[in-house]
Structure 1
Amino acid sequence: MIKTLENNFSQNLNYDRILLLSTCPLYLKWYPTNRDIDLFLQIPRILLSPFTQWIISCPSNSIIYCSKDIGKILRHLNHILVRPIEWENVNISNQEFYNDYCKLVSHWSSFLSSILNYSSDDSNIILIKRFIVQHLYDFTLHTNLLNFMKTIPNLISMLLQMTDVQQDEIQLNIYRCLGKLMSEADIKTIASPSKITNVHVKFLTNTIDDSKKKERFYGILQSLKNFVQHDQVKIELIKQNALPLLIRCIIETDFDLIRVKGIVLEILLALSFNNDASLILRQNKNFMTSIRNLVDNTKSNKSNIQRAVEALLWKLEKETEAVTKLTNSKLYKYDIMISYSHSDQQLCYQIHERLVQDGFSVWIDRDNMHGATMIAMAEAIENSEVVLICMSDAYKQSVYCQSEAHYAFERRCHLIPLIMKSYYKPDGWLGIIVSGKIYVDFVKLEFVLAYEKLKKEINQYHKLNMSYSMVKSKENNHQDTSSTVSKPSEEASALIRRRSIAELPPCITQWTNQDVKSFFLTNGLDNTLLLLCTRLDGHRLLQLYEICMINRESMYQSLKGELANIHHRTLPISDYLTFLHEIKRYIPLTDAISQSTSSPLSSPTMCKLM
C-alpha cells in the first residue's frame, strides 16, 4: 500500500488507504494490552524500508503543502516504525534499522529546513512544524542515532531558531531534542544557558501545580534531566532559584513516585556535583529527611528510585569521607573495573569476556547497573587497579556513570577511556576526566586490534605499578634498593614523585608563601604554574582557584597565555587539571571561606575536605 503513494505530500487519499495507513497504525500506537515484542518488531521489518523510500522520494519543500490525510499518515506510521517498542526495556539491538533511520532523520531535517522561514501565524504551518519536531525527537530516543544526528549540518542551529515559535508543545520537543544533541561547546557558543534554563523554570512553575498539565510537567522534567549534565545549566538553575521547585517534588507526597520523584532525584544528583547546590541540599533538613525515608520505603525493591536515592545520599554524605581515605595499598581484589552505560552493554560484555579469557579479574555490573548500589560501585572502584571508562553519549548523559567516573577520578585510579560509538568526542565533565589520556577506539578499529591495544595499556600500567610497589616496599623496610632492585624506570620514579604528598596545613587559608611553593613542587608543577604563583600565599591561591572554577576553560587560556608571554613556556592541560584536582583537598566549605576573610582559621576542623 505504501508503494502506491505518489511522491508528494499534497495528495488526498480514499477511505481504504486512510484505514490501512493511518487508522490501523493509530490503533497500534494506543493498543492497551501488553505488547508482543516480536509481533511489533515485525511491523518495521516489513514496512520501514518502503516507508523510507517513499519519504526520501518526496521533495523536501513539498512538506509545506502537506494534506491533512498525509499528515496523519506521517504522524501515525512514523511512530510505530520509529518507536514500535521501548528499546531500553528489551534485550534487542535496533541496529538492523539503523540505515533506514539515518535516511529518515536526514530527510526530516531537510523538511525542517524547508519550512523554517514560513510564518508561524498559519495554523497549518504550526501543525507541520509540530509533527516535524515530534518526529525528530522520536529519533533521539535511539541512542545509536544521536552521534549521527550531531553530524547533520545545521540541525542544532535550526532547532534553536525554532525555539522562538510560541507554541508550548513545539518548544518542549525542541528542548528535549537539544538536550540530547547539544555539547558543552554548543551551549557556550551558539546557545544561551540562561535562556535554556529560563524556559525550563518557566514551564516547571506553570505546570507543577496544574493537574491538567501533568504530561507537560513530566515532559519538561525529562528535558531538564538531559540538560542538567551541562555545567552552565547547573549554574543557571541555581541562579534562577530552581532548586526549591525540585526540592518540593521530593518533600511533598502528592508527586508521582516514578514519573516525578525518580526523575527529580536524578536531576538533583547531577546538581550535587556543583558545590553550591550540594551545600543547599545538605542544609535543607526536610529534604534530607525525605530522601532518607525514601531509602527505607524502597529497600524491599531494588528499583531505580532506591538507586537514585542511595547515589544522592552517597554524594551528599559519604563521598568526601571516602575520597579522603586514600590508601597506598597495592593489594587489589580486581585487575579491572568496567564502568559503562546499559546502552553499550553488548560491546562491554564482549570486552569483559575477552579480558576474563585472558586471565584478568574483572568487576562488572551484569544487572545493567540496576542491582548494585553506589556503595558497591565505590568498593569496586577502590579495589580495582584499572578502571575502564566506556565513553558514549549515553554514558555522559547518565548521572550514575558520572558518579562512578568522578569517584574513580577523585580516587586517582588509573583510567583507560574506551570509545564505544561512532563520531563520539567526550566533552564537559567527561572530557575533563579523560583529558590527556590515550583513547582506545572500539569503533574505528576492528575489535581484535582495539582489544590488543587495550590489553597493552593494561599490562603496561600493571608493570609500572609493580615497579613502583617494589621500590616503595624496599624504602619502607629501610633497605638499600640498589643492592636488590635495579634503578627504577623513569616512569616509576615519576609515579613516586607524583604520589608523595607534602606535609601541608589542612586548610589552604593557613598556607604561607612557602607552603604554596611546596604544593606546586610536590605535584610536579614547579616548571609551569609555580612560575605564575611565586608571590602568592594561601588566601590568594584560594582566590585563583575560585576564579578558575567560575570558568575553567577561559582561565586555562589566560594562564596559558601569561606563562607563554612572560616565561616562554607552554602550560599543558594536564598540569592545569592536576592543579584543580589536587588543590581541592585543601579548599574550605563556603562558611569557612567567609570566616577566613575576616579572621585567620585557628582550627583545621573548620576546613572540611571536599
Structure 2
Amino acid sequence: MTAYGLIDELKSLSSSQSESAYCYSIEHLTTQLEHMISANVLEGDQLAWILIDHLHQLIPLFEMKLFNDISVQQTNFFLKKLNQFFQQRQFLCGAVRSMKDHSQQQKVFYNYFSLLKISYFESTGKYDNIITCIIPIISVASIFVRMVETDIPSNFLPSLLDFIESYWQNPDRELVMRYTIGLIKVFSKSPSLVLMIIQHKWPNACLRYLSNINEINTSKSTYHVHYILLVTLQKLARHTIGVQILNELNCHKILYDNQTKMQNIYNEHEYFQLQLISYMIDALLMSSDEIKQQTISNNELMSQILDQLVRMIIEGSHSIGFLYDCFHISEPLIVLSKLFVNDDILTICLAQNDRLFQCFTQLFSHFSAQIKTQQPLDAERDSETILAVSNILWSISFQERYHEYFKMNTMLMNTLSNLAQSSSTYDILQSKLIPYDLYSVKKSVQGILWNLKTLSIHSRSSGNVSSTEQRPPLIMISYSHSDASFCRELVECLSVHVPIWVDYKQADNTVNHSDDLWEEIAYAMEMATVIIVIVSKEYYESKSCRQELCYASDTLKKRIIPVYVPNQQYRANGWLGIRIAGQRYIHFGRKLFVVATEELISMIIDYQKSTQTSVIISQPLVTNETIPKPINDTKSDVLSLKDWTSKEVRQWFEENHIHPDLISLFIDQFHTGTALLIYAQHLKYFYRHEYVRILTKYHQVLDGKRLDTLDFVTFVDAFFRLREKYNPNNSKDDLERSSEIQLPWTDVQDRITWL
C-alpha cells in the first residue's frame, strides 16, 4: 500500500461500518502504518498535512469505540502506532510548516484543541492513546498560533494540575503525564497565558515535582519528565512576572539542591542536558550584579555550558526556522545577552569561537530586514531575536579590541546607522516577554555607535540650542532612573545655588532617558564643570549609566563627584569602583540630607575656584563655618608624619580598613609617614598603572588569589584622603593633565585578562 492508499483507507473508516469491517480496516491500517514507519515511506509534507487534516474527524469515532468497549484492542493498537509516528517531531513540524496559509495552521490548532476533553484525563486511562495522539499535534501547531486566555477554558489548567497531582509517578499513566506537562510547557511560551499559568500554581507544582523525583525508581521516562519540567520553568523565566514568581519560590535553591540528585540518577549526557537548562533558568533569574560576580575560571561544567549555548546559536542560525533541538534561536540569545554583562564571560565566548561575532552581525542584519515584512506572530518572535542580539552587540562594543570588527562590516554599520535614525522600534513584546534588564533596540544601537565614536555628539543646529545650553552648566547629573526620586530632591536643593543640567528637564518634563536625549547628555557632559554621579547598585547595573560615566571619565576626563543615595548598603565595585576610586564623595546615608547637601555645595565651589570657571554661583545656604577651610600651615602636619614609625604606619593601614592581604604586601615597604604621602602622590598620577601592578603582585604572592575591587577602592581612597589632608595645595590642574599619561583602559584590560 502506498502512503496515499493508507490515507484513502483511513478516510473510509466510519461509524456506519460493521464491527467486523471496522476491525479489519483498523488492523490493516495498523500493519501498513508500521511497515511505512520502518521503511520511512511517509515523509512528504503534503501527505503529512492530509493525514493531520483528516485525522481530527476520526477522533470522535475512536472515542465512541473506546467508550462502548467495541474493538478496543484494535483501536488502541492503531492509536499507539500513530503516536509512535507522531513522536517523529520533524514529521509534524514539516506538515504544519508546509501550510502556506496561516489560517490553515490556526485551523489545525483549534480543531485538535477542541477535541482534548477534560473527561479524557479523568477516566482511568481509557482514552490515554487519544490524548497522546492529540497533544503532539497541538504542541507543534501552537508554534504558529498566537494564543490568548480566552482560548483556554477556565477549568482546563486546574483540571490538568489535578490530574498530575493524582497520577504523579504512576507508571500506568506516565506517558500521558509527560505529554500533559509538555502541553503546559507549550503554553508557557505565550506571553498572554503566562499569568494564567502562574495563577493556577503551575510553577509551584513544577518545582515541587522536581524536588520529589525519586532517586531509586527511575527510568528513561523519568529523565523526560525532569527535562520537560525544567524547560517549562525556562519558558516561564523568560517573562518578567515569571522571574518574580520563581525567585519568590526560591527556584535557584531547588535547582542547586537537585544537582547531586541528577548526577546520581542520570548518565553523563542526560546530566549535562539538564544542567544546561538549569543554567539557562538561573541566568534568566539572576540580576546583572549577580551575573557580574560569576567566575568561570576552573569551572569546566560552566565552560561546557557556554560552549553549548554558542553552538545552539551558531547551528540554529543555519537551520530552518532558526531552531536548535526544539529551542528557537532567540532563547539562547536572550540568555547570552544577560550573561554578557560579565566581561569575562563575553571575552571567553568570543575568544573560543571566532565565528560567533560574525554570527551575531549576520543575525542582526537578517532580522532587522525581515521583521517588517512578516506575519504578526513571526514579527513578535523575530523582535525578541533582534532585541537580544542588539543588546549583545552593545555589550561587545564596550570592548575596544572589537571596534575594528564593527567598523569593517559595512552592512552592519549601515544597518546600525539606519536604526539609530529610525523613528520606529522593534520592541513589540518588550514589556510582556523580554527580561526587564534588556534595553530597547534603538537605545542599544545608539549605544553601540556612541561606543564606536561614530555617533555625532558635537553637531547641533543653532535653532535647537536651548537656553540652558547657551549658558554652560556648572553641574551635570548622571543617575539611574531607579533613583529618580532622590535625584529630583537633590536637584531641587542644588538648583537654587548652581546651574544644573539633568535629563528630565530637557524633554518636556518626561522622566525617561529618551533615545533622542543621548546627544543632549553628551553635550551637557562636555559643557559641565563637574559631573555628579548618583551611585547605587542600579547605576552599576545599567549599561546606559556605564556609558555616560565612561564618556565623562575616560574620554572627557571630567571632575566626578560620587554621591551615594541613602537607605542602601551598596559600595562601588567593578567598572564603577575603578572610575570613582579616590574621588571625594558624599554619602547621604551617613548624615542628614541638609548637612550632606551643604558639603556637596562646598565641594562644587572648591572645584569651581580651581578651574576659574566663568559661571557665577549664587550665595550658598551654608555658613563659612560649614565650608572646609584651607589648611594654611601644613608644615606641622608634615613634620608629624616624619615622626611616624612602622608602628604608626601599620596603625594607619588598620584604621583605614585596608584589607589584611594588602597590608601584608605593603607594610614592609613603608617605614615613615612621608613615604606614605609620596606614594599617595604617585598613586594619584598613576592609579591605573598601580592597579595593574598591585593586581599582578597580589595574584603572584598570594598563590593565585584575585584582588577584590572593593578592597582596591578602599586602599586608593585611604591614600587619596591622606594626600588631601597633608598636601591640599597641590595643583589640581597638573593632576588633571597627568591623567593623560595614564595607561589606557584597553591596555589595562589586556594586561589583566590572563588573571
Q: How high is the TM-score relative to the length of structure 2?
A: 0.49
Equivalent of 1:230, from 311, 334, 342?
A: 342
CA distance in 1, matches of 2:124, 2:567: 46
Native 8 Å contact 1:311 1:400 kept in 2: yes
- Bigger Cα displacement from structure 2, 130-139 vs 285-294: 285-294
SS in 2 for 1:67: helix
What one-letter code is carried by the residue in structure 2 that aligns with 1:314?
W
- Bigger Cα displacement from structure 2, 185-194 vs 227-236: 185-194
Higher RCO, Cα 8 Å, sep 6+ = 1
Equivalent of 1:206, from 295, 315, 326?
A: 315
Cα displacement (A) at 1:225: 1.3
What one-letter code is carried by the residue in structure 1 that aligns with 2:358?
I
Native 8 Å contact 1:389 1:418 kept in 2: no
Q: How does 1:272-287 map to 2 (within 5 A)?
A: 272-273=397-398, 277-282=399-404, 285-287=407-409
CA distance in 1, matches of 2:179, 2:307: 33
What one-letter code is carried by the residue in structure 2 that aligns with 1:195?
Q
Change beyond 3 A, Cα 1:571–1:252: closer
Cα displacement (A) at 1:358: 9.8
What one-letter code is carried by the residue in structure 1 that aligns with 2:221?
N
SS in 1 for 2:422: coil
Equivalent of 1:271, from 396, 402, 405?
A: 396
Native 8 Å contact 2:185 2:228 kept in 1: no
2:453 pairs with 1:312: no
Equivalent of 1:468, from 570, 589, 603?
A: 603
CA distance in 1, matches of 2:488, 2:746: 49
Q: How does 1:538-557 map to 2 (within 5 A)?
A: 544-546=690-692
Cα displacement (A) at 1:425: 11
CA distance in 2, matches of 1:469, 1:359: 10
SS in 2 for 1:246: helix
Change beyond 3 A, Cα 1:137–1:124: same
SS in 2 for 1:229: coil
What one-letter code is carried by the residue in structure 2 that aligns with 1:287?
N
Superposed CA RMSD in Å reads 6.4
Q: How does 1:129-278 map to 2 (within 5 A)?
A: 129-140=226-237, 141=239, 142-145=242-245, 147-148=247-248, 152-156=252-256, 158=258, 164-166=268-270, 173-181=277-285, 183-184=290-291, 185=293, 187=295, 191-192=299-300, 193-211=302-320, 213-214=322-323, 216-242=328-354, 244-250=355-361, 255-257=366-368, 258=383, 260=385, 262-273=387-398, 277-278=399-400
CA distance in 1, matches of 2:694, 2:160: 50
CA distance in 2, matches of 1:488, 1:350: 26
What one-letter code is carried by the residue in structure 2 that aligns with 1:62?
Q
Change beyond 3 A, Cα 1:587–1:118: farther
The residue that corresponds to 1:296 in the other structure is 418
CA distance in 2, matches of 1:576, 1:129: 50
Equivalent of 1:70, from 170, 173, 177?
A: 177
Cα displacement (A) at 1:173: 3.5
CA distance in 2, matches of 1:357, 1:97: 45
Listed one character per residue, the Cα deviations across residues 523-542 of structure 1 (whole Å, up to 9, x for unaligned) are x9999888669799899986
Change beyond 3 A, Cα 1:575–1:467: same
Cα displacement (A) at 1:397: 7.0
Native 8 Å contact 1:227 1:233 kept in 2: yes
CA distance in 2, matches of 1:278, 1:62: 54
Native 8 Å contact 1:136 1:177 kept in 2: yes
Native 8 Å contact 1:229 1:270 kept in 2: yes
What one-letter code is carried by the residue in structure 2 that aligns with 1:206?
E
- Bigger Cα displacement from structure 2, 141-150 vs 378-387: 378-387
Cα displacement (A) at 1:191: 4.9
Listed one character per residue, the Cα deviations across residues 47-104 of structure 1 (whole Å, up to 9, x for unaligned) are 6994698499669x738876333333333346547954288xxxxxx6x997x58x64
Native 8 Å contact 1:133 1:173 kept in 2: yes
Change beyond 3 A, Cα 1:468–1:559: farther
CA distance in 1, matches of 2:258, 2:252: 11
- Bigger Cα displacement from structure 2, 61-70 vs 428-437: 428-437
Cα displacement (A) at 1:178: 2.7
The residue that corresponds to 1:567 in the other structure is none
CA distance in 1, matches of 2:716, 2:337: 30
Cα displacement (A) at 1:133: 1.0
Change beyond 3 A, Cα 1:146–1:253: closer
Q: How does 1:355-370 map to 2 (within 5 A)?
A: 363-364=503-504
CA distance in 2, matches of 1:31, 1:52: 23
CA distance in 2, matches of 1:66, 1:435: 63
Equivalent of 2:209, from 111, 134, 151?
A: 111
CA distance in 2, matches of 1:27, 1:266: 30
Q: How does 1:23-42 map to 2 (within 5 A)?
A: 32=145
Change beyond 3 A, Cα 1:432–1:28: farther
Native 8 Å contact 1:225 1:263 kept in 2: yes
Change beyond 3 A, Cα 1:593–1:488: same
Native 8 Å contact 1:265 1:309 kept in 2: yes
Native 8 Å contact 1:386 1:458 kept in 2: no
CA distance in 1, matches of 2:442, 2:491: 31
SS in 2 for 1:256: helix
The residue that corresponds to 2:562 in the other structure is 414
CA distance in 2, matches of 1:27, 1:10: 25
SS in 1 for 2:306: helix
Native 8 Å contact 2:699 2:706 kept in 1: no
Q: How does 1:75-86 map to 2 (within 5 A)?
A: 75-77=182-184, 80=187, 83-85=190-192
Listed one character per residue, the Cα deviations across residues 122-153 of structure 1 (whole Å, up to 9, x for unaligned) are 54233212211112113322342354355653
Native 8 Å contact 2:189 2:236 kept in 1: yes
Change beyond 3 A, Cα 1:353–1:432: same
Cα displacement (A) at 1:236: 1.3
The residue that corresponds to 1:498 in the other structure is none
Cα displacement (A) at 1:175: 3.7
CA distance in 2, matches of 1:590, 1:350: 33
Cα displacement (A) at 1:312: 0.9
Native 8 Å contact 1:272 1:278 kept in 2: yes
CA distance in 2, matches of 1:152, 1:369: 33
Identity of aligned residues (%): 14
Native 8 Å contact 2:125 2:173 kept in 1: no
Cα displacement (A) at 1:317: 2.0
Native 8 Å contact 1:337 1:380 kept in 2: no
SS in 2 for 1:271: helix
Structure 2 alignment gaps of length 5 or more: 1-115, 369-382, 426-439, 459-471, 614-618, 632-655, 721-735
Native 8 Å contact 1:133 1:170 kept in 2: yes
Listed one character per residue, the Cα deviations across residues 172-193 of structure 1 (whole Å, up to 9, x for unaligned) are 6434213224534454599555
CA distance in 2, matches of 1:425, 1:540: 23
CA distance in 2, matches of 1:474, 1:397: 34
Structure 1 alignment gaps of length 5 or more: 88-93, 323-328, 341-347, 441-452, 495-523, 563-569, 597-610
- Bigger Cα displacement from structure 2, 570-579 vs 253-262: 570-579
SS in 2 for 1:224: helix
CA distance in 2, matches of 1:318, 1:124: 55
What one-letter code is carried by the residue in structure 2 that aligns with 1:136?
L
Cα displacement (A) at 1:314: 1.0
What one-letter code is carried by the residue in structure 2 that aligns with 1:70?
M
CA distance in 2, matches of 1:419, 1:97: 36
What is the number of equivalent residue pairs in this alignment? 499
The residue that corresponds to 1:575 in the other structure is 715
Q: How high is the TM-score relative to the length of structure 1?
A: 0.58
Cα displacement (A) at 1:226: 2.0
Q: Which has the larger radius of gyration?
A: 2
Native 8 Å contact 1:207 1:217 kept in 2: yes
